[in-house]
């Protein structure tokens, strides 16, 4: 099983998919002590930091595994790839999800004219364990 940090897949017409993945995190339940309001606020901050290119601020919100993956260079490359394909923009409200004992927040996006989603996944301590920007489907 692999954990997706970020994927920008623009369909068959695109020359390639752009992704970085690492080993999957251990699946644990999110502690009840981390409120939904706190996780929602962290999702909003993570989205802003991500699209503003603020890698250090994202790493401060992340667990040690994700933080180690998110280098300034990798983050810049992701943003450049997104901009090269016409950028991305939010197109809806945040939605809370829970799967395999983990909590995530998802927001609809438009990516190169296609429906997509921006997802922030949290570990048991309420730290970011993963981010994804990927087409719906």
CA distance 108 to 90: 6
24 belongs to a structural domain: no
pLDDT at residue 17, rounded to an integer = 31
Residue keyed to tokens 């695109």: 14
73 belongs to a structural domain: yes
60 belongs to a structural domain: yes
23 belongs to a structural domain: no
Alpha-carbon Rg for the chain in angstroms: 14
33 belongs to a structural domain: yes
pLDDT at residue 110, rounded to an integer = 93
Give residues with Cβ within 8 angstroms of 118, minimum separation 6. 47, 50, 88, 90, 106, 107, 109, 131, 132, 133
Tell me the pLDDT of the chain averaged across its residues.
Answer: 79
Render pLDDT for 30-81 as a digit per residue (tens, 0 to 9): 445 688 899 999 999 999 999 999 999 999 999 999 999 999 999 999 999 9
Look at the chain and report how many structural domains it folds into: 1
CATH number, position 82 = 3.10.450.590
105 belongs to a structural domain: yes
16 belongs to a structural domain: no
19 belongs to a structural domain: no
The answer to pTM > 0.85 is no
Q: Which domain holds residue 118?
A: 2-10+29-135
């Amino acid at each position: 099983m692999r954990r997706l940090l970020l994927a920008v897949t623009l369909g068959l017409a695109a020359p390639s998919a752009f992704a970085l993945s690492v080993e999957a995190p251990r699946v644990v339940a999110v502690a009840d002590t981390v409120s939904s309001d706190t996780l929602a606020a962290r999702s909003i901050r993570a989205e802003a930091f991500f699209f503003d290119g603020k890698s250090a601020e994202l790493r401060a919100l992340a667990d040690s595994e994700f933080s180690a993956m998110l280098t300034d260079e990798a983050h810049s490359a992701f943003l450049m790839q997104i901009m090269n394909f016409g950028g991305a923009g939010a197109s809806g409200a945040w939605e809370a999800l829970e799967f395999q004992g983990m909590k995530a927040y998802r927001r609809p996006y438009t990516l190169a004219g296609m429906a997509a989603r921006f997802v922030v996944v949290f570990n048991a301590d309420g730290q970011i364990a993963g981010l994804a920007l990927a087409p719906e489907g």
